[in-house]
Amino acid sequence: MLTVENLQLRLNGKLVIDDLSLQVNNGEILGVLGENGTGKTTIAYLIMGVNGYKPTGGRVIFEGEDIADLSVSQRAKKGISLAWQEPARIEGLRVRDYLKLSGNNFGVEQIKQCLLMVGMEPSQYLDRDVDNTLSGGERKRIELASILAMRPKLAILDEPDSGIDIVSLPLILNGIVELNRQGSSVLLITHNEKVMEIVHRVSLLCAGKILITGAPAEISRWFKNNCRTCHHINVPADEDKQL
C-alpha cells in the first residue's frame, strides 16, 4: 500500500531523515519505534505532505503512485490521514462537527460510536469545542475518534498513546485494532513498547534511519536492551545495526 524508498530530508543543512525505506502492506499495522528525537514525527509529516517537509531525496509511493507533489488534502482524498501527536485546537469547532468532516456522511449515532471506542462519553463531548478547554489527553482521543470516523485506507498515528492515562490506554489500543479490523492499514509511531503489542511488524528508527524491521517481540527486546541505554541516539554506531 505504502512504499517509502530512500527518503531523505535535510532541514537547515542537517540530515534529519537519512536514506529511509519502509513499507506498509495492505491490512497491516506497522509500528515505527524509536526514542525521542530520532525522526518519528518527521516521517509522519513527510508521508502526509505537511508544509515545510518536502523530501530532499527518495520517493513516497501510495498505491503505486508517487505522491510527492500532492498537497495534504490531495493525499487525504487518496486515503491517507494523520492523527497528530499534538493536535491543533480549533475554537468554535464542535467535536461532532470535527468528526463529521471526514466525509463519510456519518450520522450522530455513528459519531457517538467513534467516541465510545476511544473511551469518551458522547453526551459530555459532542457539543464541546475542539479548543483549549480540552485536556491534552482528551484532545488526543478526539483525534483518534476522528480517524475512526474517517476510516482512511492508511492511518498514520503519531504517538497516539502519549498523554493518555493508564486506564484509557487499553481503550485506545482497542480502537486502533478496530480501525485496522474495519479495513485501514496503520502506520503506528511510538516510543512505547507496550503499544507494540498490537502491531504486526515493527521498524526500529534511529537517527532518521530504519535500523531493523521484524516481529514486535524481537524488536521490542532489542529496543529495550540497546536503545534505552544508547548514548548516541542520533549517531548510531555501525555495530548497533546488527541484531
Partner 1 sequence: MINYLVEKEYQGLVDAYEKVGGDRSALLNNDIASLIVHENKILSATEIEGVKLTGESQEHGIMAGLLIEEGCKVSRPVHLCFGILPQEGLQEIGLRVDVRKGAEVKVIAHCIFPNAVHITHKMDAVINIEDNASFSYKETHYHGESGGIEVIPKARVTLGEKALYENTFSLIEGCVGKLDFDFEIFSAARSVAEMILKVCGKKDDVIKIAERVNLNGDGARSLIKTRVVLRDRARAEIIGETYGNAPYARGHVDCIELVNGEEAIARAIPIVSVTNDKAKVTHEAAIGSIDRRQVETLMARGLDENEAVDVIVRGILR
> Which one, 16 or 48, has the nearer CB to partner 1?
48
Choice among 35, 91, 143, 159 that is catalytic: 159
The cell numbers describing 158, all together, are 503519531
> Which one, 6 or 132, has the nearer CB to partner 1?
132
The verdict on 222 binding partner 1 (CB under 8 A) reads: no
Backbone angles phi, psi at 68, to 5 degrees: -55, -35
The verdict on 91 binding partner 1 (CB under 8 A) reads: yes
- Helices and strands, number each (H, E), in the chain: 8, 12
Whole-number minimum distance, CB 117 to partner 1, in Å? 17
> Which one, 62 or 84, has the nearer CB to partner 1?
84
* Whole-angstrom distance, CA of residue 70 vs CA of residue 25: 21
Residue 16: name the closest of 41, 33, 49 by CA: 41
Is 218 designated active site? no
In sequence order, the 6+-apart residues with CB closer than 8 A to the CB of 103 are: 150
The verdict on 72 binding partner 1 (CB under 8 A) reads: yes
Residue type at position 157: L
The verdict on 82 binding partner 1 (CB under 8 A) reads: yes
Question: Where do contacts with partner 1 occur on this chain (CB under 8 A)?
Answer: 48, 50-51, 71-73, 76-77, 81-82, 84, 87-93, 101-103, 129, 146, 150
Q: Catalytic site residues? A: 159
